[in-house]
Amino acid sequence: MRNLKLFQLSLIFFSSIPLLPILTLAFSAENPTDRRILVLLDDVSLKSSHSIFFSSLQSRGFDLDFKLADDPKLTLQRYGQYLYDGLILFAPTTERFGGSLDLAAVLSFVDSGHDVIVAADSNASDLIRNIAAECGADFDEDPSAVVIDHTSYAVSDTEGDHTLIVSDELIQSDVILGKEKIEAPILFKGIGHSLNPENNLVLKVLSASSTAYSANPNSKLSTPPSLSGSAISLVSVLQARNNARVLISGSLELFSNRLLRAGVQRAGHSKKFDKSGNERFVVEVSKWVFHERGHLKAVNVRHHKVGESDEPAIYRINDDLEYFVEIYEWSGTQWEPYVANDVQVQFYMMSPYVLKTLSTNEKGLYHTSFKVPDVYGVFQFKIEYQRLGYTSLSLSKQIPVRPFRHNEYERFITTAFPYYGASFSTMLGFFIFSIVYLYSK
């Protein structure tokens, strides 16, 4: 009897699962933070060994769905709709995902504007390497290689092979790493990657020190290491053109409770930090990846002639105009005014004729005024705002510009007065002459 009841209950529960995504708050343009995140693990124990990272996500309102990477029911979309807003791939050794998920599915997930965190580790599978390579990060091809640093390693009583390295060479970006500086160095244990120099969307967030190299610590080197020095990227991020964000880490342990809780002392330094910078780092970076920060929107684009308030359909050359735009940044919960002094507007026809920095009232409103160039044609107001870590803003609004009308040219030019004088004096002379000629005797 009880079993039957249980069965009924579970039936109701499972049949309501497909409804859940509809009920939960979903990713949208107005609310760009991700909500539903699929976490793929190659091992259930990761859930507990990385629980601090996961619980920080959950406490920020994310709905984590933990699945094993080889779960045969794995899928990212159903009926053409994505079931998740983000994907965390903590399955470095998985050669094949279960279900319908594969490399192409992950890439099209990113192509449709969703965010991914990929963590690799030594012995990372080709699948994970390929996902990273598609994002412009090439992991060291030697499967047994890890990043070693004999100068900048964490002092430890138990690990003497210098593969637990410390780095504080972080990207200088408040938007990716938060406004507060991460004081404690970051512990890293894993593999390194290099960034494809032709891919200018991918950025090094955490790089190794100049003494680091990527090699197998247990065998002698016979050839120079393929990756060495500060060219090694430990953690990289990619922001695609569609503002999808991808984090690529060469270490899964970077996110683990062990390294989040560990104290850290860099070799050769006497200062000992009670806690490594890892927790701050992974939390801040995940905030960025899941669009809790650095997501901009531009609204209320307006322009008009100085002294008027209505938007004209056309401008005349040499008009003075004013341009307004409001830019807001998503803070994770609400839109807040975005304050910057480098937003620029272009008045553009084939190439920018005017490029001007907008001034802000610090409440999100940006404004500038300029004179329409003396070239007529179809122009655009263009804002191409690309800043490190922020989503790119690309606005354009078309506006034609006409030349002067015939009656808008300058009249009564002083220089022409002799000509006018000549004409009128001739006319007056003609008038007098006509009278004199006709009636004089």
Q: Which of residues 23-62 bind another protein (CB under 8 A)?
A: 42-52
Supply the minimum distance, in Å, between the C-beta of residue 46 and another protein: 6
Comparing CB distances to another protein, the nearer of 25 and 428 is 428
The interface with another protein within residues 384-423 (CB under 8 A) comprises: 386-388, 407, 413-423
Q: Which amino acid is at 359?
A: S
Angstrom distances, CA of residue 289 to CA of 33, 86, 319? 9, 9, 44
Comparing CB distances to another protein, the nearer of 100 and 123 is 123
Of 176-184, 209-217, 269-277, 325-333, the segment contacting another protein by CB under 8 A is: 209-217
| Residue partners of 413: CB distance under 8 A and separation at least 6 | none
Angstrom distances, CA of residue 30 to CA of 99, 109, 251, 289, 338? 32, 20, 34, 17, 16
Of 73-81, 214-222, 290-298, 396-404, the segment contacting another protein by CB under 8 A is: 214-222
d(CA 223, CA 225): 6
Q: 242-256 in b/e burial notation, b at 16+ Cβ within 10 A?
A: ebbbbbbbbbbbbbb
249 beta partners: 119, 235
Computed from CA positions of residues 241, 246, 250, 254, in that sequence, does the dihedral angle turn out positive or negative?
positive
Among 258, 305, 316, 367, indicate the residue that binds another protein (CB under 8 A). Answer: 258
Among 156, 243, 265, 380, indicate the residue that binds another protein (CB under 8 A). Answer: 156
d(CA 441, CA 59): 114
Q: Are strands 193-195 and 137-139 parallel, antiparallel or unpaired?
A: antiparallel
Among 223, 270, 309, 334, indicate the residue that binds another protein (CB under 8 A). Answer: 223
Supply the minimum distance, in Å, between the C-beta of residue 154 and another protein: 11
Among 1, 160, 179, 350, indicate the residue that binds another protein (CB under 8 A). Answer: 160
> How many chain residues are in contact with another protein, going by CB under 8 A?
107
The interface with another protein within residues 336-365 (CB under 8 A) comprises: 342, 344, 346-347, 352-357
User: How far out from the chain centre does Cα 294 lie?
Assistant: 7
Contacts with another protein, 62-81, as mask; x by CB under 8 A: ----x-x-x-----------
Comparing CB distances to another protein, the nearer of 19 and 436 is 436
Comparing CB distances to another protein, the nearer of 149 and 284 is 149
Supply the minimum distance, in Å, between the C-beta of residue 365 and another protein: 19
d(CA 355, CA 140): 43
CA-based Rg of the chain, rounded to a whole angstrom?
A: 32
Query: How would you class 130 by CB atoms within 10 Å of its CB: exposed for 0-12, middle for 13-18, buried for 19 or more?
Result: middle
Among 98, 99, 373, 403, indicate the residue that binds another protein (CB under 8 A). Answer: 373
Backbone angles phi, psi at 206, to 5 degrees: -130, 120
The interface with another protein within residues 102-141 (CB under 8 A) comprises: 121-123
Contacts with another protein, 167-206, as mask; x by CB under 8 A: ----------------------x-----x-xx-x--x---
The interface with another protein within residues 280-339 (CB under 8 A) comprises: 318
Per CB under 8 A, does 240 bind another protein?
no
Per CB under 8 A, does 252 bind another protein?
yes
Supply the minimum distance, in Å, between the C-beta of residue 429 and another protein: 5
Supply the minimum distance, in Å, between the C-beta of residue 423 and another protein: 8
Comparing CB distances to another protein, the nearer of 313 and 438 is 438
Among 218, 270, 309, 334, indicate the residue that binds another protein (CB under 8 A). Answer: 218
Supply the minimum distance, in Å, between the C-beta of residue 211 and another protein: 5
Contact 247, 213 (CB under 8 A): no
DSSP letters for 287-347: HHHTTSSSEEEEEEEEEEETT--SPPS-EETT-EEEEEEEEEEE-SSSEEE---S--EEEE
CA-based nearest residue to 71, from 51, 52, 47, 44 = 44
d(CA 192, CA 93): 16
Of 154-162, 283-291, 308-316, 319-327, the segment contacting another protein by CB under 8 A is: 154-162
